[in-house]
Amino acid sequence: MKFRYAILVIFFLMGCEAVHPEDTSLLVVESYVAAGQPLPPLTLRRTAPLEAKYDLDQSTAATGARVEFMLQGSLIPYTMQGAGIYAPLEPITAIPGAELDLRVYWGDHVIMANSRVPPAVSLDSVSIEVSDTPIPGLILDSVFVDPLLVDSLGLRALGANAREGLVYLVEATLYWTDNTERDGDDWWLRTQLLPRLGQSPRLSNFFLSPEALQRERSVPFVNAEQRSWSGAYAVQVPSSSNQLPAHGLRISIVRGTSAYAQFVSGSSNPGESEPPSNVTGALGIFTGLAIDSLTIEVQ
């Protein structure tokens, strides 16, 4: 009889999903050490439950941590200077090629990360081209039919809210000097066109790719020293008689590590997975990078 009960218990337990709630309060690290710039502050936050609000203040700050920051083998003292903000006492410049090493002690947690500062990057020149007249373009998504929604007869999956409109195409080409030849590391390059517009045609921009992430050595040279990248974005207008609205455009270029590239590419679906972290024992990112950007007025 006992055996029979044991079978029943096993049978029952097979149907149970053992999910044990865990202490979700993890440390989140954020620090981007830019080449040629003073060492940035290190931000330490805590994770929070899903049902709670997440304010970027004292409620989520990780306080009382001990930070050991090594720059090219030298210990740089960091102290807390705000809610979860830790910064060096004196401004110290991150030289290109410097090795970075981080240790943080927070309660029982010990987290570690390391990285390297890439060679500095700067935009040598930028050219902008704008289409003469507005052209038809898709304003919102109606193409990506979600099969799950179709299965459920969710007719909105067929593209409710989709709308055709008129757009100007703005094309920008960036030129920069590749000075990484002697470095030997495999650097990644992130380029971005960020128009300051009230509305942005999402789907059109998905295809136009105003942003790119690629290995720098895979970007073609335009001459012996310079590489270039071109991107485009759409600016929506109400009618064909409208001129291109004047707007600001920030053009950025970032040279980063593979950890940074993984972090960026892994950030595309924040509702499905978190970006890969290069920090042992914590979430977030600690990396060296080189950055340059400029903002222009397009009209």
Partner 1 sequence: MCAILQNQSLRKYCAVLCVAVAIVWAIPSSIVRAQVIEIDIVSESLQRVLDTFTVTQRVDLVYAERLVEGRIVTCNYAGTDIERALACILDNQNLQAVRVRRRQYVLVDTSTDSVPNSTEDRVRMGALRGFVTDATSQEILPGAHVYLPELSIGAISNEGGYFAMPALPVGQYLVSASFLGYASLDTLIAISEESVMLALERRAVESETVVVTSDRRDPYEVSPGVREIPVDLISGFPGLPGEADLLQSLHWLPSVQRVRTNQGGLVVRGGEPDQIQYLIDGAPIYHMWHVGGLLSIYQPEVFKDVRLYRGSFPAEYGGRLSAVLDAELKDGTQEGITGLVGVGLFSARLFVEGPIGNEVSFMMSGRRSYLDRIIGRKHPVDDGVTRDTLRTGIYLYDVSAKLAWRPSLQHRLTLGVYGSADDLDIRLPINISRIGESGSILPLASWLRPSSLIVEFDTRWSNRLASARYHYLYADRFFLSATAYATSYRAHERIFLRPVATSSISSKYAVDILDMGIKLDLDYYLSLTHHIQAGASIVQRSFSSELGALILQTNSISESTDEESRLDNTEIVLHIQDTWKPTRRLQVQPGLRISRLLGGNDLRLSPRLGIRYALDRVILRAAAGVNVQYLHQVRDRYSVLYDLIAYRWVPASRSVKPSQSYHGSASGDLSLGTNLTAGIAMYVQRTEGLLLPRDEEQTKDGLRGPGISLAAILGQYTRGEALAYGLEGSLQYERGANMVWVSYAAGRSRSRAPLLGEKNLRPTRYDVPQRLEIVLQRNTRSWTYGLTGQWRSGYPITVPEARYAVGDPLSEEPRGFLYFPKINNGRLPPYVNYGLQGAYRFNAGFVSMQVSLEINNITFRRNIVRQTYTFEIPEPVSVMSTYGMPAYPLFELVARF
- Applying CB under 8 A, among 1, 2, 3, 49 the residue interacting with partner 1 is 49
Map the footprint of partner 1 across residues 152-211, applying CB under 8 A: 152-155, 158-164, 167, 169, 171, 190, 192, 194, 203-204, 206-209
DSSP of 231-277: EEEEEEESSTTPPPPPEEEEEEEEEE-HHHHHHHHTTS-TTT-PPP-
54 binds partner 1 (CB under 8 A): yes
Map the footprint of partner 1 across residues 108-127, applying CB under 8 A: none
Least distance CB 123 / partner 1 (angstroms):
14
Least distance CB 167 / partner 1 (angstroms):
6
Among 115, 102, 86, 106, CA closest to 46? 106
Largest CA distance in the chain: 87
Can you read off the two tokens belonging to residue 149? 């929604």
275 binds partner 1 (CB under 8 A): yes
Binding track over 229-268 against partner 1, x by CB under 8 A = -xxx-x-----------------x-x---------x--xx
17 binds partner 1 (CB under 8 A): yes
Binding track over 130-149 against partner 1, x by CB under 8 A = -x---xxxx---xxx--xxx
25 binds partner 1 (CB under 8 A): yes
Choice between 114 and 252, CB closer to partner 1: 252
Segment contacting partner 1 by CB under 8 A, of 63-71, 115-123, 240-248, 287-295: 287-295
1 binds partner 1 (CB under 8 A): no
Among 41, 43, 32, 99, CA closest to 71? 99
Q: Do 283 and 274 form a contact (C-beta atoms < 8 A)?
A: yes
Segment contacting partner 1 by CB under 8 A, of 51-59, 111-119, 217-225, 241-249: 51-59
SS3 24: coil
Kindly determine how many residues on this chain lie close enough to bind partner 1 according to the rule CB under 8 A. Answer: 87
Choice between 72 and 214, CB closer to partner 1: 214
Can you read off the two tokens belonging to residue 238? 């109400």
CB atoms within 10 A of CB 286: 26
83 binds partner 1 (CB under 8 A): no
Choice between 66 and 163, CB closer to partner 1: 163
Burial label for 8, CB within 10 Å (0-12, 13-18, 19+), is exposed
Can you read off the two tokens belonging to residue 48? 């929070």
Least distance CB 26 / partner 1 (angstroms):
7
Burial label for 115, CB within 10 Å (0-12, 13-18, 19+), is buried
